Amino acid sequence: MDANEWEDTPIAAAAQRAARVKTPNAITLPKPDKTRTITIANQKGGVGKTTTSVNMAAGLALGGLKVLVVDLDPQGNASTALGVEHRTGTLSSYEVLIGECTADEAMSDTTAHENLKCIPATIDLAGAEIELVSLVRREYRLSDALSEEFLNRHGFDYVFIDCPPSLGLLTINAMTTVTEVMIPIQCEYYALEGVGQLLNNITMIREYLNPQLHISAILLTMFDARTKLAEQVTDEVRGHFGDIVLNNVIPRSVRVSEAPGYGKTVLAYDPGSRGALAYMDAAQEFATRGDYTPTEESGAVGVAP
């Protein structure tokens, strides 16, 4: 095999992509006209919400964009994956929500990339649902804190909010802060379990609290090419949701699962792995295609206003 034939092989293509991920400033992604705000949501647990939040954010940061991740899950897994301190007493999204500090004060650098910042979550957030009930503008506390002035001052291109799997005041605060929802769906049994209820909840929030809210992307995760089930689920999701589903899928990967244990995204932990390359490709697709433009058909399934 000569050099030109080698360059056209899948292995060579993967090697070239991995080299770009590892090389600083090798990838340049287009900047949006204004800050894009996205919450990662699925009321079914274990589908890759947090993994998607941190790795999509890291992929965009590697592409030269300024990104903020807001951890609204009391477990603080996004904070862990980004190498951000989140012990009790750390200024966090909890203090931001109840008004004890500003977003500026709670925001921290991450180990993932210099362009990627994080407002961490601590276990104190577990009690926030109860405390928020009596507060003024309880559904808009996060929206008020992440004001347009704050986002513009820091020059953020993207904001990702990682929220818990239940529809409580934390998730409602996330959805009143953003305009876009990204739904990760795993390529396994019961893949669409809970998605119908999520669509109903998005429709309800759009009707009563945030008319700009819409689904801008669906990302298929935990894809195992060895199984026929994964292909069947993929076909089912694409058949139901159409073009809103990203072309790139995230494979089931040991590296993706290992990375948070080291306080890293998979893009930092093993940038040449299949999982890292898949998230980089998904981030590039998400940034390049821009906010999904809904059609009349997609609006019928609760995708857009």
Query: How sure is the predictor about 305, in pLDDT bands with cuts at 50, 70 and 90?
Result: very low
- Based on its alpha-carbon atoms, the radius of gyration of the chain, rounded to whole angstroms, reads 19
**What is the largest distance, in Å, between two alpha-carbon atoms of the chain?**
71
Cα angle at 59 between 48 and 222, to 5 degrees? 25
Q: What is the pLDDT of residues 164-188, one digit of tens each?
A: 888 889 999 999 999 999 999 988 7
Q: What is the pLDDT of residues 231-258, one digit of tens each?
A: 888 898 999 899 999 999 999 889 998 9
CATH superfamily of the domain spanning 30-299: P-loop containing nucleotide triphosphate hydrolases (3.40.50.300)
H runs (alpha helix) in the chain? 3-7, 10-22, 49-62, 77-81, 93-98, 103-106, 128-132, 141-145, 148-154, 169-177, 195-208, 228-241, 254-258, 266-269, 274-289, 296-299
Domain ranges of the chain: 30-299
Q: What is the mean pLDDT of residues 118-123?
A: 96
Q: What is the pLDDT of residues 276-285, one digit of tens each?
A: 999 999 999 9
Percent of the chain with pLDDT over 70: 86
H helices then E strands: how many in the chain? Answer: 16, 7
- For residue 96, pLDDT over 90 is answered with yes
Q: Write down the mean pLDDT value for the chain.
A: 87
More confident: 253 or 299:
253
From the list 148, 139, 147, 141, the residue with the least C-alpha distance to 208 is: 139
Please enumerate in sequence order all residues whose Cβ is within 8 A of that of 156, keeping only pairs 6 or more positions apart, or say none: 35, 66, 67, 68, 117
